[in-house]
Every structure is written in C-alpha cells, then in structure tokens.
Chains A and B, each alone.
Chain A
Amino acid sequence: DAKTTQPNSMESNEEEPVHLPCNHSTISGTDYIHWYRQLPSQGPEYVIHGLTSNVNNRMASLAIAEDRKSSTLILHRATLRDAAVYYCILRDPNSGYALNFGKGTSLLVTP
C-alpha cells in the first residue's frame, strides 16, 4: 500500500491560513487523496478529496503537486473549531475498502 507521511503536529493562530502537508511519494496513478479530520471526542469527518487537480469545497482546499507525490490541505482561516487531528489517506481500488488513517497531524489553533 502506498503510504503517507505527515508532521506529527502543527500550530496556527486563529483566523490565519493553515497549510497541512502530506507526502506520498509512492502514490499510484489510481490512488485518490482523501483528507479526514477528527475533532476531540468525535468520530472522523470527511474534509476533501482529489485525484489530480486542485479541489475546493466549503471546508478547505486541496492542492496536489503536479507529480502527485505530495499534497497540501489548506484551511483558509483557521478557527478554534478546526483544532483536530488531520489525516491524509490514499484510497487505492486494489487495496481494500478500509481507510488507513495513520497517525495524522494534530493541529493546535491558538486565539
């Protein structure tokens, strides 16, 4: 399975943009890049996904490198509610249906 590498933790000030990086140098051409987050004491929550092109939704933006070996989740204006563990996950049609969460990045947002 293609694996992802994320920093263990990051810190941001409230109302500033946050760029959460993810490296996936062994990504295959059919892997989708998904991001989920887990707020304290809650279940994981879908954030965004993409394949090749950059993607935007109401929660965040996903910037995918041209060679697809890395991606960045962008929170445009961090709020205290965005403090969570963020998981970058590759979904490969050939490697089963489970989401492989890994350790993720713990984002701290300070007022």
Chain B
Amino acid sequence: EAQVTQNPRYLITVTGKKLTVTCSQNMNHEYMSWYRQDPGLGLRQIYYSMNVEVTDKGDVPEGYKVSRKEKRNFPLILESPSPNQTSLYFCASSFHAGQFYNEQFFGPGTRLTVL
C-alpha cells in the first residue's frame, strides 16, 4: 500500500532532550516536507527536500533540523526541544516538487508535547 509513515505517533518529552521523528514513504517520491499544525495558525511548513541531499527551510524552521540521506526517509530532528514546539507534526511527499499539479500525500501525524 502506498503510504507515508511517521513514528512515533505520540511523544511526550522534556525541554532540552533531543528527539527525532521519522518519516518514510514507499512511493519513490522526490519531494518531502514537514509541517506543523497549531490551533488558529493552521499548517505551516518547517522544512522541505527536493531530493536526496537537497533540503531547504520552510516558513518556520527555527529549532528544527532535517536530513535526506535516502530518498524514502526524511527525519525531523529537534536538538533541544522547547515547550513552544508542542504541536501536531505532519510529513508529506509528492512525486515532483516542480509539477504544481501533483498531489501531496500526508502521513498520519505525530503529536508532540514538550514539558
């Protein structure tokens, strides 16, 4: 089944404890991205990747890192999480970023709470 998977789905952590949220897609997509969703602010893009080893900042990149060493994986890294990073996180992928008619596929979400 074609899908985007995220792990973990739920995470409660404490300020400053490094964490990684994994994202994997099995559709051979070139483009992957991370969003966060907050009440009243909607979904905002954190980082995106056009292909392996090519990443760039989205609208809200502060406090996050990403890497794209393999085409299928795009982990989101929080080196020193803070309470303002408590949010619902979504990973997304699509075949080509440059083709603006392409649909994006989203993962099920990771609910992160930073105490």
Interface residues, chain A, with chain B CB atoms under 8 Å away: 32, 34, 36, 41-46, 49, 51, 91-93, 97-99, 101-104
Asked whether, in the complex, the Cβ of B108 is within 8 Å of the Cβ of A97, the reply is no
Classify the interface of chain A: helix, strand, loop or mixed.
loop
Residue of B nearest to A34 (CB): B103
Classify the interface of chain B: helix, strand, loop or mixed.
strand
Number of A-B residue pairs with CB-CB distance less than 8 Å in the complex they form: 51
Enumerate chain B residues within 8 angstroms of A49, measured Cβ to Cβ: 101, 103
Asked whether, in the complex, the Cβ of A43 is within 8 Å of the Cβ of B58, the reply is no
Interface residue total, chain B, C-beta cutoff 8 A:
24
Asked whether, in the complex, the Cβ of A97 is within 8 Å of the Cβ of B90, the reply is no
Enumerate chain A residues within 8 angstroms of B97, measured Cβ to Cβ: 97
Task: Indicate whether B104 reaches chain A with its CB closer than 8 angstroms.
Answer: yes
Interface residues, chain B, with chain A CB atoms under 8 Å away: 4, 31, 33, 35, 42-43, 45, 48, 50, 58-59, 90, 92, 97-98, 100-101, 103-109
- Please report the C-alpha to C-alpha distance between residue A84 and residue B92 in the assembled complex, in whole angstroms: 19
- Please report the C-alpha to C-alpha distance between residue A98 and residue B60 in the assembled complex, in whole angstroms: 12
> A44 with B90: in contact, given A49-B103, A92-B100, A97-B48 (CB under 8 Å)?
yes
- Please report the C-alpha to C-alpha distance between residue A59 and residue B59 in the assembled complex, in whole angstroms: 31
